[in-house]
Amino acid sequence: MAYIEFDATSPHYARTPPHERLGVVVHHSVLSFRDTIARMLDPTSKVSYHVLVDDDGTRCTLVPDDCLAWHAGESTFLGRSRTNEFLLGLAFAGDTYRTPLTDAQIASALEWIAPRWELYRWSLDRLTDHRQISPGRKDDLNPVEWQRFLAAATRRFGSPRTAV
């Protein structure tokens, strides 16, 4: 199924250095879809994601893939810091501790990831959540919801393999 997708470009991104697109970090926004978009467009917020997914699967692209979105803050992944430079930021609207991800959110996120998965030859070890790259500082996603998402990604993209 193709989910509705629209653009609402956030002013909070950088064109340099070029984004490396080595994988995806998954977040939850805590706020509703509409309120998250408003926050991403607010000139004072200084935060953004590449894409936001609503509970019905609708997606809003906030920052182009080749630019750095400001979503991860102080974080480490693959032995590197400055993860905004190499991990795309995908956020689910809402709070995964209060409300589980919907099937539509998971399916839409995987639909968004799919062309990038093939193009960049990602593997499951290139998917993570904010909690894992910023331990003690961030708690998204709820671990139960992260496992649901990862299981769905495994079904869609196959078993883990090392990225090329």
Residue 15 · residue 52 · CB < 8 Å: no
What whole-number distance in Å separates Cα of residue 68 and Cα of residue 131?
20
pLDDT digits (tens, 9 = 90+) for 103-144: 999 999 999 999 999 999 999 999 999 999 999 999 999 999
What whole-number distance in Å separates Cα of residue 81 and Cα of residue 74?
7
Class of domain 5-157: alpha beta
Q: Is the pLDDT of residue 1 over 90?
A: no
Q: Domain boundaries in the chain?
A: 5-157
pLDDT digits (tens, 9 = 90+) for 51-102: 999 999 999 999 999 999 999 999 999 999 999 999 999 999 999 999 999 9
What token pair was written down for 40?
Answer: 């991403």
Q: pTM of the full predicted structure?
A: 0.95
Q: What is the pLDDT of residue 162?
A: 46
Cβ-Cβ contacts under 8 Å for 129 (sequence gap 6 or more): 25, 26, 27, 140, 141, 146, 149
